[in-house]
């Protein structure tokens, strides 16, 4: 893939970076070029609008947006762009066990969809972004299949290990 970013990773605050780093790590693993920045729906609304309006023209194909608390960033970005937006709810310091963030991103009105991953699951957002791009890129699709095969193999190794302790374990 070219070095032009295909995925934008945005977050409401730099305090979200420890969570959002997992999305960047997965995209790096799959050699998907990305950009990463802070875009706050509440503190920098004009920056958010500009980011969303220009994303497609800048070559982005998917946006991953992480936010905590009221978590308006993914939905607001999705309301401005036609690109797929993947929301990552983040349990932040002002969050109510993260449920406020989950529901803010998940409960979008009809017409403005946001794909939503689990609380703090930026890794899955990175994989989902790669999967969307892999729909149109055979090499990336193969890398994703290899990743899934690796996950399968890791589980089977655990099954074999378990059988040594529990001989009557299901082994098919």
Which residues belong to the annotated binding site for substrate? 13, 16, 43
Show binding-site residues: 13, 16, 43
- Rounded CA-CA distance 102/89 in Å is 5
- Rounded CA-CA distance 132/110 in Å is 21
- Rounded CA-CA distance 23/153 in Å is 23
**Residues 129/29, Cβ–Cβ less than 8 Å:** no
User: CB neighbours (10 Å) of residue 83?
Assistant: 17
Radius of gyration, alpha carbons of the chain: 18
User: CB neighbours (10 Å) of residue 110?
Assistant: 5
* Token representation of residue 7: 């995925």
Question: What are the respective helix, strand and coil percentages of the chain, to the nearest 5?
Answer: 50, 15, 35
């Amino acid at each position: 893939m070219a070095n032009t970013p295909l995925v934008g990773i945005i977050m409401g605050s730099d305090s979200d970076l420890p969570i959002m780093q997992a999305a960047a790590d997965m995209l790096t693993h799959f050699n998907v070029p990305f950009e990463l920045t802070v875009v706050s729906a509440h503190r920098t609304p004009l920056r958010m609008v500009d980011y969303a309006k220009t994303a497609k023209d800048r070559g982005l194909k998917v946006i991953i947006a992480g936010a905590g608390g009221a978590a308006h960033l993914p939905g607001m970005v999705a309301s401005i762009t036609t690109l797929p937006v993947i929301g990552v709810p983040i349990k932040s310091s002002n969050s109510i066990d993260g449920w406020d963030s989950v529901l803010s991103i998940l409960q979008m009105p009809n017409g403005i969809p946001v794909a939503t991953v689990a609380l703090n699951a930026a890794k899955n957002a990175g994989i989902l972004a790669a999967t969307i791009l892999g729909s149109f890129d055979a090499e990336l699709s193969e890398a994703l299949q290899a990743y899934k095969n690796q996950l399968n193999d890791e589980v089977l190794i655990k099954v074999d290990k378990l059988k040594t302790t529990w001989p009557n374990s299901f082994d098919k």
